Structures are given as structure tokens and as C-alpha cells.
Amino acid sequence: MSVSVNYTQSPEGIIAGPVNEENFFEWEALIMGPEGTCFEGGVFPARLTFPTDYPLGPPKMKFTCEIFHPNIYPDGRVCISILHAPGDDPMGYETSAERWSPVQSVEKILLSVVSMLAEPNDESAANVDAAKTWRDDRKKFEDIAERTVKKSLGL
């Protein structure tokens, strides 16, 4: 498995790399909440798990902290097109170009997740409560996000 992001080459606001040198299939990441968003200032830990057929199959990503977001399941799993298996979407929602392909990099995945934090897709919700709150009561959503930011910092 080739790795394209390490602790010294991560994009700004992201630290990522293998959990240890014996297992390159498990990575940890710290993602800073994007500036100008309700997640700004937060530091959100996540885990990437790569399949044995990587790069043919996409990794799975899961936040290991509480985060209330339309595209993150309540258990922390990230739902974003770039992490969906390659090929046509059986539901017809995504094009094959939006889904995983072996040319994607870990850096591109992490940057896509930062973009997702900044711009939730409430049309394709992994967390229905978060999507409904995002759509119907933005102030409440931002208050909940602010609490998760403080929690991520141990405050």
C-alpha cells in the first residue's frame, strides 16, 4: 500500500498518518474545524481504515469524537461520495465520477471531509436529525456544533 500523506506533508489544518509503523492500514487524523464555520476552533479526531485491496477499494472513515453533522452518522462514520465504492450508485444519486477511484489520495479524502464540514449536504443525510436541524433551525444547529467544538477541546 502506498501512502501519500504523512505527518509532515498534511494539508493545513489536518494531521494524519498511520497509527503505528506495523500497520499501515489504520490511520489516525486530527481535523481542525474550518475557519468561518460553526466548527471553527474544534479539533476532531478520526480514524481511517484501509481495505486490503486499497487503492482499488476506498478506506472507511469514522470520527472518534462526538460531532453533529448531516453527513456523519451518529456513531461517527463519514458518509461522503469520495468514500463510496467505485462504479454506478445503485440509488442513482451520485455519478461514478463522484465516487471512489484508485487515483484518489488520502489528502483528497481529508480535504473533501473538511469541505463537507463547511458545507453539509442535507439532501443526502447520514444523520437525519442533524440534517433537519441544519435545514429548519440553523441557530440550534450552530449551538450544538459549538458544544461539540468545546468538547473536542476538553472544555
Report pLDDT digits (tens) over 83-141: 988 876 666 677 777 889 888 889 999 999 999 999 999 888 999 999 999 999 999 99
pLDDT value of residue 134: 97
For residue 2, being part of any structural domain is answered with: no
Q: What is the pLDDT, as a whole number, of residue 7? A: 44
Helices and strands: H and E segment counts in the chain? 3, 4
65 is annotated as an active-site residue: no
pLDDT for res 91: 66
| Residue at 46 is within a domain | yes
Domain count, the chain: 1
Closest of 28, 118, 108 to residue 71, by C-alpha: 118
For residue 33, what is the domain's CATH number? 3.10.110.10
Q: Which of 14, 79, 106, 114 is catalytic?
A: 79
Which has the closest alpha carbon to 4: 117, 114, 103, 115?
Answer: 103
